[in-house]
């Protein structure tokens, strides 16, 4: 077990088939995104080059036949941050081939209550994301392959209860 952002970056360079993310927070406190969140909330246009670094990472993976996809657990009404993340982030990231699904718990119980926020690479390597109360990243914990079965169950449960983002956004987006 290790915990560093370098380990997570290395996973993105070395995964072979798929990178899955389960997002569980209503707010991710990412200082580098603060200006973009403010601009989005003020109704400003999305800046040129928005999310370019992540798009490069996603395009490199998907261009080599790898899958990058995530499920976000949400409840309506969306927080300002989620409106930004979905409205600018997801829509932009889809242009690079990333896939998004929404598990909306507004009218159903959360089937993953207590599950952690994580990345999961090649159905083998979970990286648990630890955040503080404000949504700021505290650490990233790379778990051994012995934990894979639990994270496969989390992923499969999330996907079974989620709907593709484009269809969800068409009904509930802003």
The per-residue pLDDT for range 12-64, each reduced to its tens digit, is 999 999 999 999 999 999 998 999 999 999 999 999 999 999 999 999 999 99
5, containing H or E segment: helix 5-14
pLDDT at residue number 4 = 59
Instruction: Give the count of beta carbons closer than 10 Å to the beta carbon of residue 81.
Output: 19
Whether residue 80 is predicted with pLDDT greater than 50 in this model: the reply is yes
User: Is the distance from CB of 110 to CB of 58 less than 8 angstroms?
Assistant: no
CA atoms of 136 and 134, how far apart (whole Å)? 6
Top CATH class of 5-172 equals alpha beta
Report the mean per-residue pLDDT for the chain.
95
Whole-number pLDDT of residue 18: 98
**116-131 confidence digits (pLDDT tens):** 999 999 999 999 999 9
pTM of the model: 0.94
Cβ neighbours for 99, distance < 8 A, ≥ 6 positions apart: 67, 68, 69, 70, 164, 165
pLDDT, tens digit (0-9, with 9 covering 90-100), for 89-116: 999 999 999 999 999 999 999 999 999 9
Query: What proportion of the chain, given as a percentage, has pLDDT over 90?
Result: 93
Q: What's residue 7's pLDDT?
A: 80
Q: Please report the pLDDT score of residue 6 as a whole number.
A: 74
Cβ-Cβ contacts under 8 Å for 53 (sequence gap 6 or more):
none
Position 2 scores a pLDDT of 47
> How do 117-121 and 18-23 pair as beta strands?
antiparallel
Can you give the residue ranges of every domain in the chain? 5-172
């Amino acid at each position: 077990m290790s915990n560093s952002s370098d380990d997570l970056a290395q996973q993105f360079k070395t995964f072979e088939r798929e990178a899955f993310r389960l997002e569980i927070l209503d707010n991710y406190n990412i200082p580098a995104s603060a200006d973009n969140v403010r601009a989005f909330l003020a109704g400003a246009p999305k800046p040129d080059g928005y999310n370019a670094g992540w798009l490069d990472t996603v395009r490199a993976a998907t261009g080599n036949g790898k899958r990058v996809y995530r499920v976000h657990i949400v409840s309506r009404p969306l927080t300002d941050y989620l409106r930004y993340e979905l409205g600018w982030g997801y829509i932009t990231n889809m242009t690079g081939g990333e896939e998004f699904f929404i598990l909306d718990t507004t009218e159903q119980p959360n089937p993953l209550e207590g599950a952690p926020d994580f990345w999961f690479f090649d159905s083998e390597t979970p990286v648990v994301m630890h955040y503080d109360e404000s949504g700021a990243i505290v650490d990233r914990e790379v778990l051994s392959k012995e934990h894979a079965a639990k994270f496969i169950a989390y992923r499969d449960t999330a996907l079974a209860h989620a709907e593709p983002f484009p269809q969800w956004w068409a009904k509930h987006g802003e």
